[in-house]
Structure 1
Amino acid sequence: MTLRLNDEDAQALRRRAELEGRSMQDVAREAVREYVENHSRADLLDRVLDEDLPRYAEALERLGQ
């Protein structure tokens, strides 16, 4: 896979990598992992809220009283 960045993004990535004493590739890989993990959790939460929560709405309402 080839990642093409515009000059501004490439420079920002270079600065971040230098600041952390890591390679640009390591910083980019970590960013991709974090993005996938965060969005996977959000997707799971959305699914639970859309599909599972309505099933228990009455019980949750009773518990709240």
Structure 2
Amino acid sequence: MTLRLSDAEAEALRRRAAHESRSMQDVARQAVREYVEYHSRAELLDRVLDEELPRYAEALERLGQ
């Protein structure tokens, strides 16, 4: 895989990696892992809410009154 960054993105990544004394590749790989984990959790939460929320809709509506 080749990752093409704009000059500004590459410079920001370079600065971040230098600040953390890590390689640019390590920082980019961690960012990808965090992105995937965050969105996977969000999708799981959405799915659970879609499945479970209707079961409690009446109680939630009463609580909101």
Q: Specify the TM-score bucket, using the shorter chain as the normaliser.
A: 0.7 to 0.9
Q: Distance in 2 between matches of 1:60 and 1:9?
A: 45
Matches within 5 A, 1:53-64: 53-58=53-58
Matches within 5 A, 1:2-17: 2-17=2-17
Q: Which runs of 5+ in 2 are unaligned?
A: none
Q: TM-score, length-normalised on structure 2?
A: 0.84
Q: Percent of aligned positions with the same letter in both sequences?
A: 83
Q: TM-score, length-normalised on structure 1?
A: 0.84
Corresponding residue for 1:26? Answer: 26
For the aligned residue pairs, the C-alpha RMSD in angstroms reads 1.8
* Matched residue type, 1:6: S
* Matched residue type, 2:43: D
Q: Distance in 1 between matches of 2:11 and 2:32?
A: 18
